[in-house]
Copies of this chain bind each other. A is one copy, B any other.
Amino acid sequence: MKKEIMIETSARHCHLSRADLDTLFGEGYELTNKKDLSQPGQFACEEKVVVSGPKGSLKMSILGPVRKATQVELSFTDARALGVTAPIRESGDIAGSTGVTIEGPKGKIEIAEGAIIAKRHIHFTPEEAAEYGVEDKQIVSVRYEGTGRAIIFGDVVVRVSPKFAAAMHIDTDEANAGAIAGTVYGEIIK
């Protein structure tokens, strides 16, 4: 059974709906692919936005392509800097999450919900999930020995889709707690 998993760190970022991209960057604007990400079809964009809360503002990248709903992914550190509290959620599960203001070069929007702290997770295709002996929604732990800040992340949710590729995603706080710089490999513990 395979156990080793690539761990990637996601810095704060947002996903935009078609309508919100229009408001922020202009009608019919197309995002510019700066770098392909590990998940097929996903890419970091050249474009940036400024996200604000009652206490502060943070510049962040947009990840493309456009999605059904606008979503802002923060770390606890980021949420504190903005002056908001945001719930730990899986991507896409934004009902009742936190509102923030997003500003682009052509406009500004206020979203009533959409800001979350991403629940740490592992992406797998169904074939990969089988190789690792795990199922969609299963909660696992991941150990990273590292260099001076060994850590075991619990409460890691497995997400399985034919659109995914094997990768664990953590935020910058989680990376820092494990002294993780760049892409590293951890071990899944069930």
Interface residues of A (CB under 8 A from B): 75-77, 88, 119-120, 141, 145, 148-155, 172-179
Contact = CB atoms under 8 A, between A and B. Distances in A.
Nearest to A180: B76
A67 to B, nearest CB: 24
Contact of A155 (B148, B174, B175, B176): B148
A148 B156 CA distance: 9
B179 A177 contact: no
B150 A151 contact: no
Stoichiometry (number of copies):
2
Nearest to A119: B148
Contacts of A145: 154
Nearest to A189: B152
B172 A174 contact: no
A120 to B, nearest CB: 7
A172 B77 contact: yes
A88 B179 contact: yes
Contact of A176 (B75, B141, B178): B75
Nearest to A149: B155
Given A119-B148, A148-B88, A77 B76 contact: no
Contacts of A75: 176
A104 B149 CA distance: 33
